Amino acid sequence: MKLIVGLGNPGLQYQKTRHNAGFMVVDRLAQRHSGGAVPRSRFGSLTLDALIDGEKCLLVKPMGYMNRSGGPVNEALRFFKLEPSEDLLVIVDDVALPVGAVRVRAKGSAGGHNGLSDIDRALGGADYARVRVGVGAVPQFMAMADWVLSRFMKEEAEALEAGLADATAATECAIGESVEAAMNRFNRKV
């Protein structure tokens, strides 16, 4: 079993914001692999069972705010007796990548991302796979929080759509083949 966690903030006011790129990818995975199932509330999250390339997965959207993602992730991992380095994949927004770019990593640093930092803290390390979805660099003279909580601009729609499709496919590849295969196929120079 694999745990696929999309990071974001709950609530209508945060839908379609840059910080919710992880939620957007998990929603796409749910449409493709959960057969219209209704999400359940478990582990402080909305969860859905999915079958991706023959692998049983739990799709997870933590319902606390971004900087409190670690507790729900750790709780789900402990409940199912899963190893983060083998069984966890986190999908997250990344301001270091242009809109639509995707970067897959087998492990790594939080890179200043509060959601990843909280997961690292809760798990006692950063040894888990992640799919980073580019949301664009923070404009000069704009606060990081204001940027990541802003909605995408119309002129970014095409790049965003391509990035969400690639992140979904990269996640499917990581589950069906391996994280390394996903890295080779989806990591491109930007």
Which pLDDT belongs to residue 46? 97
Q: Compute the distance between CA of residue 143 and CA of residue 187 in angstroms, rounded to an integer.
A: 28
Which pLDDT belongs to residue 65? 86
- Please name the CATH architecture into which domain 2-186 falls: 3-Layer(aba) Sandwich (3.40)
25 closest CA partner among 6, 8, 40: 6
Q: Which residue has the tokens 């589950």?
A: 175
Tokens read off for 79 = 């409940």
List of the chain residues with pLDDT < 50 = none
Tokens read off for 148 = 């990541």
Which pLDDT belongs to residue 35? 85
Cβ atoms of 5 and 60 within 8 Å: the answer is yes
The torsion angles phi and psi of 172, rounded to 5 degrees, stand at: -60, -40
Catalytic residue among 2, 18, 19, 61: 19
Instruction: Based on the residue annotation, tell me whether 19 is a catalytic residue of this protein.
Output: yes
Which pLDDT belongs to residue 189? 74
Which pLDDT belongs to residue 36? 83
Which pLDDT belongs to residue 1? 96
36 closest CA partner among 21, 57, 50: 50
